[in-house]
Amino acid sequence: MKSAEDFLISLKQRSISSLAESALASKPVDIPTELLIAVTRGLLVFPVIGHSKYAATKAAIETATSDLAQIGYWIRYHHGDPLNWHAATGASVGDGVAALEICGDQGRMALCQACQDDWDWIDTLRSQASDNTRYLFFHWPADLSMRRSAKEIGPGLILHGEGSSVPIPPSRSSSGILHVYLSPSAAAIADAPEWLITVAFQGAEAIACCSPMESLCDWGNSSAA
């Protein structure tokens, strides 16, 4: 199995264009439906070998793409390796994409407090990484700066912005749990709601002033796309 360092080198130095005439590049490959869902919604994706260290994943973000030929090449070239997939976040991704990571009951409660009665965003593209982790994808306003990397904006809430990435289906967690999209899996990416923008810039103070909710958010049913 390739090391994380070898894997990163292969991402940066080997491209489908340089191997267009090779037998490897011409082999048919099935691209997982989950990746097709991601790229057709404007996400740029890249593979991660197993559960690579943060530094290796960070460095690989620059290789993120929506090009199906390149994605297919990665799948062929790394056949047999334990591949997971990440989606890059930042202003240069599509129309600008941010991902809100919801961690455990604390994050769900903070989310419900922050959004109050605004549920217009609920049908945005969402994924489930485990029983305790969810990701919500949003288009970030072009006229607003996007915070760099991953920033905790409240209890159990992490906003992934410029230069960050999040795991997406069909990845598996370190415990072997399969990442899935939450129904409806065909959802588009919604614009970032006002409450999220407010919390992004004001942090936990904006959540603290909200009245607590009696129940946690209804996450709906998960689906394997």
102 and 83 inside one domain? no
Average pLDDT of the chain is 80
Q: What is the pLDDT of residue 213?
A: 46
Confidence grade of residue 139 (pLDDT, cut at 50, 70, 90): very high
6 vs 42, residue with greater confidence = 42
- Same domain as 38, residue 127: no
80 lies in the same domain as 129 = no
- Are 75 and 134 contained in the same domain? no
pLDDT digits (tens, 9 = 90+) for 1-26: 555 555 555 555 455 455 444 555 55
Distances (CA, A) of 2 to 19, 98, 105, 169: 20, 31, 37, 22
Whole-number pLDDT of residue 97: 94
User: What's the rounded Cα separation, in Å, for the pair 51 and 82?
Assistant: 9
Closest CA relative to residue 12, chosen from 82, 84, 54, 61: 61
Using a pLDDT cut of 70, give the percent of the chain over it. Answer: 73
Query: In this structure, are 83 and 101 located in the same domain?
Result: no
Q: Which of 64, 87, 110 is the last residue of a domain?
A: 87
- What percentage of residues in the chain have a pLDDT greater than 90? 42
Together in a domain, 120 and 59: no
The pLDDT score that the predictor gives to residue 60 is 87
37 and 107 in a single domain? The answer is no
Q: 54 with 117, same domain?
A: no
Q: How does residue 49 score in pLDDT terms, banded at 50, 70 and 90? A: confident
Please state the domain count of the chain: 2
Residue by residue, DSSP assigns 75-116 as: HHHTTTS-EEEEEEEBTTSTT-EEEEEEEHHHHHHHHHHHHT
Give the Cα separation of 173 and 134 in Å (integer): 12
pLDDT tens for 84-135 read 999 999 887 877 999 999 999 999 999 988 888 788 898 899 999 987 899 9
Enclosing domain of residue 60: 4-87
Boundary of a domain, candidates 87, 105, 128? 87
- φ/ψ of 147, rounded to 5, equals -60, 145
